[in-house]
Amino acid sequence: MPTGEISSVIETDFGFHLIFKEGERQGKNYDVSRIFINTKTERDILPPTDQWKNTELSGKHLERAWVAFDPSTNAPQVSLQFNDEGDQLFADITGRNVGKPVAIFLDGSAISIPVVNEKITGGEAVISGSFDLAEARLLSQRLNAGALPVPIELVSQQTVGATLGQSSLTMSLKAALIGFLLVALFMIGYYRVPGVMAVVALLFYTSILLLLFKLIPVTLTLSGIAGFILSVGMAVDANVLIFERFKEELKSGKPYGSSLEEGAKRAWPSIRDGNATTLITCFILAWFGTSSIQGFAITLGVGVMISMFSAIVVTRSLLKIFIGIKENNNNLFWFGVRRNIEK
């Protein structure tokens, strides 16, 4: 700043103010910048916090707090809205303390000490002052946090370095992809066409499950990814049970269509019981487990339910379509059976 531009020094109870005129608006309004040099703090002027009196106005009376702007100066301010009970309490408090400071406490510490200009009614109030936009946002966030009528309880705490977390996530996804490819190769090599149908159904199952996780939304932790991978294994298990019963019916000489229906019917009790016990276990883990265990249980439980639909409906429907094409072909090679039906 060039020498001589400061015409006078203005001292207040808190310090010195350097005010610069930057422009003019309509009327007698000006755009200004201000530099404030502290010489005293609020604690030097206001009474100690242990002398504050409890007004019984608490967070349960505050509906919300938000950042607003003064229509004349465009300065940031914090607006408050109270419920009906808080409206009456706040009106009484401000009526008794016009011209006096009123402190707002959060967790035993004063976060704002505004001065009451007049009695405030209507359930709405404004805290204005010399804070900037970031400070106004911070104050509104603290007020809204204090308005929660429940205590905050630490359930679990985990710290994972960014490099370690990214490395673990990459390795988990790579392991899942390799596992899926190995399962697909085995199913196609051993069951042939039913195996291809199972792989298509698994791709459908994976897409639906990931879409569901996106819509809920679900944050996939490492334990959640483990539950997702295990649910894929459960889906493969259901397909294997159906295919084995299907092959047994084909070996007995039954037609394709009736063999598929009978095989699925015979496999259903095993699929139902196995998935039911898994879902019960998932419910217990989600109810009593920690956050990481809950993530595993939820992803596994949702995956198991979708896998049942995938195996019972999608795979069977695809096989029915293929059977309709090969109805007059007695070569069981396409279904993983080593002998042909005798005419």
Number of domains in the chain: 3
Q: Which two tokens stand for residue 323?
A: 């059977």
Q: Which domain holds residue 83?
A: 49-146
- Report if residue 293 sits inside a domain: yes
Q: Do both 7 and 65 map to the same domain?
A: no
Query: How many Cα atoms sit within 13 Å of 85 on the Cβ side?
Result: 8
Give CA–CA dist 9/19, Å, rounded.
10
List CB contacts of 279: < 8 A, sequence separation 6 or more.
301, 304, 305
Q: Domain for residue 158, yes or no?
A: no
Mean pLDDT, the chain, integer: 77
Q: How far apart are CA 340 and CA 229, in angstroms?
A: 37
* Residues near 212 by beta carbon (within 8 Å), at least 6 away in sequence: 218, 302, 306
pLDDT at 20: 67
- pLDDT score recorded for residue 342: 43
Residue with tokens 């406490």: 105
User: Does the residue 121 lie in any domain?
Assistant: yes
More confident of the two residues 290 and 148: 290
Per the model's pLDDT, the better-predicted residue between 328 and 333 turns out to be 333
Among residues 146, 176, 209, the one where a domain terminates is 146
Q: How confident is the model at residue 158 (pLDDT cuts 50, 70, 90)?
A: low
The verdict on residue 70 lying in a domain is yes
Q: Decide if 256 contacts 327 (C-beta within 8 A).
A: yes
Take residue 11 and report the two structure tokens written for it: 């001292």
Best CA proximity match to 239, nearest among 276, 273, 194: 194
pLDDT in tens, 83-136: 888 888 888 888 888 888 888 877 667 777 888 888 888 888 888 877 788 888
For the cut 50, the answer to whether the pLDDT of residue 333 exceeds it is yes
Of 146, 174, 202, the domain-final residue: 146
Residue 342 falls inside a structural domain: no
What is the predicted pLDDT for the residue at 299? 86
Q: Residue 29's pLDDT is what?
A: 67
Pair 187, 195: CB distance under 8 Å: yes
pLDDT at residue 277, as a whole number: 92
- pLDDT surpassing 90 at residue 280: yes
275 vs 230: CA distance, rounded Å = 12
Measuring CA to CA, which residue among 192, 197, 200, 185 is closest to residue 331?
Answer: 192
The predicted structure's pLDDT at residue 2: 54
Q: Do residues 18 and 57 both lie within one domain?
A: no
Contact, 304 vs 295, CB < 8 A?
no
3-class DSSP assignment, residue 131? coil
Residue 146 scores a pLDDT above 70: no
Mean pLDDT of 306-316: 83
53 part of a folded domain: yes
The reply to whether 159 falls in a domain is no
74 with 184, same domain: the answer is no
Q: Per-residue pLDDT for 12 more than 70?
A: no
Residue spans of beta strands (DSSP E) within the chain: 10-11, 15-24, 30-38, 62-69, 76-82, 104-106, 109-112, 124-127
CATH number at residue 131: 3.30.1360.200
156 within a domain of the structure (yes/no): no
Cα 270 to its chain centre, rounded Å, is: 35
**Mean per-residue pLDDT, 240-256:** 83
Same domain, yes or no, for 75 and 218? no
Residues 27, 55, single domain; the answer is no
Domain termination site, one of 87, 120, 146 = 146
Looking at the structure, tell me whether residues 298 and 234 fall in a common domain.
yes
- Residue 159 — pLDDT band, cuts 50, 70, 90? low
Q: Same domain for 89 and 169?
A: no
Residues 96 and 211 in one domain: no
Whether the predicted pLDDT of 138 surpasses 90: no
Same domain, 268 and 186: yes
In the chain, what is the greatest distance between 2 CA atoms, to the nearest angstrom?
114
Which pLDDT score, from 0 to 100, does residue 192 have? 83
Question: Would you state the pLDDT for residue 13?
Answer: 62
Residue 124: CA atoms inside 13 Å, Cβ hemisphere, count?
4
Place of tokens 């003019």: 24
Q: Are residues 58 and 14 in the same domain?
A: no
Same domain flag for 269 and 228: yes
CATH number at residue 258: 1.20.1640.10
Q: What is the average per-residue pLDDT within 152-178?
A: 65
CA–CA separation, 84 and 61 (whole Å): 8
**Judgement on whether residues 88 and 200 belong to the same structural domain of the protein:** no
Instruction: Please state, in angstroms and rounded to a whole number, the distance separating the CA atoms of residues 239 and 231.
Output: 13
Within 10 Å of residue 284's Cβ, how many Cβ atoms?
11
Q: How confident is the model over 6-35, as a mean pLDDT? A: 65
